[in-house]
Copies of this chain bind each other. A is one copy, B any other.
Amino acid sequence: MFRTHTCGELRASHIGQRITLSGWVQKSRDLGGMTFVDIRDRYGITQLAFNMDKNASLCLEARKLGREFVVQAKGTVIERSSKNTNIPTGEIELDVTDIKVLNASKTPPFTIEDQTDGGDELRMQYRYLDLRRNPVQQKLLLRNKVALETRKYLDELGFMDVETPVLIKSTPEGARDFVVPSRMNPGEFYALPQSPQTFKQLLMVSGIDRYYQIVKCFRDEDLRADRQPEFTQIDCEMSFVEQEDVLNVFEGLIKHLFAEIKGIHFDKAFPRMTYDEAIHMYGSDKPDLRFGMKFNYLNALQGKGFAIFDQAETVLGIVVEGASEYTRKQLDELTEWVKRPQIGAKGLVYVKYNTDGTVKSSVDKFYTEEDFKELAKAHNIQPGDLLLILSGDLAKTQKQMNELRLHVAQEQGIRNTGEFCPVWVLDFPLLEQDEASGRYFAMHHPFTSPKVEDLPLMASNPGAVRANAYDLAMNGVELGGGSIRIHDRGLQEKMFSLLGFTPEQAQEQFGFLMGAFEYGAPPHGGLAFGLDRLVATMSGEESIRDFIAFPKNNSGRDTMIDAPSALETAQLNELGIKIN
């Protein structure tokens, strides 16, 4: 037997027991008469004690142990003379009688500690060492808990875990598929699923009225900082439901997860707003509600001779509370920040409402102090506040102001990582229009049901049709979303036609689903959460990468195993393909 206990288990109550531990050498201290070696496993750290007087040869052996050696130690649990109250095992140590090296270790390329000296690249290349670090293990442990609690909650409600296939059919619609050449069907390819969408809808047609799956999905996109080619969804679907049913079940799930895992109880129902309201108030369909700074529409500043505002479709301001002391330098930096191409604003106007009652702005020559004071009254701006203003086209300015709002909140330290503000965003538009081509695209996906009351608009004004689609956002992050689906062949055909499919294309790509709709498809809807993002958000972190055991870098590479890689020619020949 390699161990009787783990390295995190021993307490004062074990004193006197003979036990065996196995673990990794965290560090050792040679104090002459005594040598102490800390050994570590997933559960904690225990101090091994070696006494030069009692057993010199053993003590000398212990001194030879290097960092990250794997050792097995036998001995008796004794009380420590100087206790360490910082760790749960700090009351005891192991008076070692036998020590055995189970495996040696080279010196690791970075330190295995909470704060490591390893850079991102090195950590990813030696991910198996990075994963030894406690903060990273805690992230995977949280992910494990969230997944299991999700299953328990959904199982309790009668949801059935059904595995849908990974080798499916490629559809040119939407994001790019990863594809898999079929050796048995030469010239043909499978695709990896971007989501199990059509399969879960087929399960609803099958009468499996509550489905879930925690499932890998794949998207061959140019990777942004926080995207991965493979990601995990908590994917769900329900039959005989309206939007309200879906929202209730999954609001319940999120509440359950926070209560069970973080001890955080959301007493009230999650706030809700429509997509239009979210855009109007925050310029985002995933507003961060941990802080205020709602948008103020400052039409009052138009028509006073300041041409930039006068010619703008909208003049938008946010009030930064208590920030009137911002220095010239800070304001210049903010101006430069909004002018970066990623944001794309032409400039930034500020108005400082000083605590002494005076007002100072970057457009003083166009407005009187009276103008600004009236503005303050109308928008409840207090002495000590800073008003930041952007102007221009409505949609563009809302977007820019959303970025500025988040940036300033970050600077102000009011995006509190310990606070969690969920919000349902409802009534998403069914379609979005590509400016250049005029072509319509599905805002969620082509299976989303329009609102019944907006059906007449589908022919006359498709862009105005609202969908039975909803997202759950938290702290400025989209945790997930879903919709009530189309379950009628005729409506699904109309939808494909709006999206520019010919009837033949629709039939070829989605004929199986439309066919299924003809055999008694029930009304249904569902939702999917991004597990990676959910777990990161629950931890108050923005990057998902550390919540994935073996992530890929921004070029889609796993640098540890060195994938992807070239194939042997024989393999390519067998698949009937050639490299261009």
Chain A contact residues, CB within 8 Å of chain B: 1-3, 22, 24, 40-42, 68-70, 102-106, 108, 126-129, 131-132, 137, 140-141, 143-144, 147-148, 151, 155, 160-170, 172, 176-192, 198-199, 202-203, 205-209, 216, 218, 220, 222-223, 229-230, 232, 240-242, 245, 487-488, 512, 516-523, 548-550, 552, 555-558, 560-568, 571, 573-580
**Using Cβ atoms and an 8 Å threshold, which residues of chain B touch A520?**
24, 68-70, 103-105
The residues of B that contact A151 with a CB separation of less than 8 Å are: 148, 151
Q: B190 near A563 (CB under 8 angstroms)?
A: yes
Say whether B2 contacts A523, CB under 8 Å.
Answer: yes
Copies in the complex: 2
Q: Is the CB of B172 within 8 A of A207?
A: no
Which of B41, B222, B232, B580 interacts with A573 by CB under 8 Å? B580
Name A's interface SS. Answer: loop
Q: Are A566 and B187 in contact (CB under 8 A)?
A: yes
The reply to whether A518 and B563 form a contact with Cβ atoms under 8 Å apart is no
Please tell me if the beta carbons of B164 and A564 are within 8 angstroms of each other in the complex: no
State how many angstroms separate the Cβ of A224 from the closest Cβ of chain B. 13
With A178-B180, A207-B42 in contact, do A519 and B128 touch (Cβ < 8 Å)? yes
**Given contact pairs A521-B70, A577-B579, A185 touches B561 in the complex (Cβ within 8 A):** no
Once the chains bind, are B70 and A206 in contact (CB under 8 Å)?
no
Closest Cβ–Cβ distance, residue A487 to chain B (whole Å)? 6
A533 vs B579: C-alpha distance in the bound complex, in angstroms?
Answer: 38
User: Are the C-beta atoms of A68 and B519 separated by less than 8 Å?
Assistant: yes
Interchain CB contact (< 8 A) of A240 among B22, B185, B191, B203? B22
A2's partner among B241, B561, B567 (CB-CB below 8 A) is B241
**Known interface pairs A2-B242, A105-B518, A183-B220. Does A558 touch B165 (Cβ–Cβ under 8 Å)?**
yes
Q: Is B561's CB under 8 angstroms from A168's CB? A: yes
- Chain B neighbourhood of A1, CB < 8 A: 242, 245
Q: A2-B240, A229-B167 are in contact. Are A131 and B42 (CB under 8 A)?
A: no
The answer for the CA separation of A334 and B347 in the assembled complex, in Å, is: 91
CA distance A199 to B550 in the complex (A): 9
Contact assessment for B207 and A24 in the assembled complex, using a CB-CB cutoff below 8 Å: yes
Assuming the A-B contacts A132-B206, A180-B192, A189-B564, are A166 and B216 also in contact, with contact meaning beta carbons closer than 8 angstroms in the complex?
yes
The 4 closest A-B pairs by CB, nearest first: A131-B206, A105-B520, A169-B563, A2-B240
Choose among B144, B191, B516 the residue that contacts A160 (Cβ–Cβ < 8 A). B144
Q: How many angstroms from the CA of A487 to the CA of B104 in the assembled complex?
A: 11
Contacts of A487 in B (CB 8 A): 103
